[in-house]
Amino acid sequence: MIARSPANWQAQDAHAEPWQLALQKVVTDSDELLALLDLTPQALAIDRRQAFALRVPRAFVARMQPGQADDPLLRQVLPVMAERRVLPGFGHDPLAEAEANKVPGLIHKYHGRVLLIVTSHCAIHCRYCFRRHFAYAANQPSRADWAQAFDYIRSDDSIREVILSGGDPLSVPDRHLQWLISQIEAIPGVSRLRIHSRLPVVVPQRITPALVALLAGSRLQVSLVLHANHAQELDDSLATALRPLRHAGIALLNQAVLLAGINDEVEALTELSERLFAIGVLPYYLHLVDRVAGAAHFEVAEPRVHRLRAEMLARLPGYLVPRFVREVAHAVSKVPLSSAPI
């Protein structure tokens, strides 16, 4: 059965790899996190009763600035009382994914591509996550469920691309990824595989020689979309880890989220694009934050978003300016900022 959680897989591995050990030693207590950063709880309005609990790898904590309560990496992971604000337009399923959840483990929203929920597990709990309320309990496929998902893909000749998502799809072991990819490769109509992951950013050790060989050896065109929001996240260890993927011909892209108080300054966005390109990653999308309950305090006003885009265009070559988009429930694609509803 595939329904075991990644945590169980890791615990049962007699020879756990360094990245798996890193996922077993994450920080889950806000007092411990603040102590590591020489901060006091009194300086922050911490919410200690969040169902969506704190979870952050120590390697990511090491990139935070001690003594800085407004550190952009800290603010992405620390549960605060502002998450309890109830505002109109913010809900548990802002993208209407439940309606697109055609079979367990599969979401089909857009023409020509489907998304597989590989796992519910993430290395890091980002406070703006649009799936923080997702029905993962109904999307933990068994082998029989996966067969149903692959039959669904096989039955639709329009599907050319399969996207691995989650949770974080790279939080499962290579052997499980290998099985999934082999099943996808056996579907003649599929020609592209896209993997969305934040794990290499927070734990660069996840890019193992076995993973590189697996992706490089696939008959599918493979792209890896990283999720990084601030240049401070992109250290030398990540640059080194990505190099074998780049040399193997894997397309490396980045998808960021525009977050108030974290990266909503042109200097931060420009530095992010510059740093991404320096390590071989192309800026792809800059998403306006999805209107999920608990993330309202991250939303950036749309007039400001327009100004930021104009300032980026004035400072950077076009290929370093990500596409500013909003994801809208029931839309046929991501909606460019210029035509997104306010």
Nearest alpha-carbon partner for 120 in 135, 103, 104, 98:
135
pLDDT for res 4: 35
Which DSSP symbol is given to 159? Answer: -
pLDDT-above-70 percentage for the chain: 94
pLDDT for res 6: 38
pLDDT in tens, 234-270: 999 999 999 999 999 999 999 999 999 999 999 999 9
pLDDT in tens, 273-305: 999 999 999 999 999 999 998 999 999 999 999
Place 15 in a pLDDT band, splitting at 50, 70 and 90: low
Please check whether residue 225 is in contact with residue 196, taking contact to mean a CB–CB distance below 8 angstroms: yes
Q: Rounded to whole angstroms, how far apart are CA atoms 288 and 57?
A: 25
Antiparallel, parallel or unpaired: β 282-288 and 323-326:
parallel
- The pTM score is 0.92
Domains (range + CATH), the chain: 7-84 (no CATH), 97-339 (3.20.20.70)
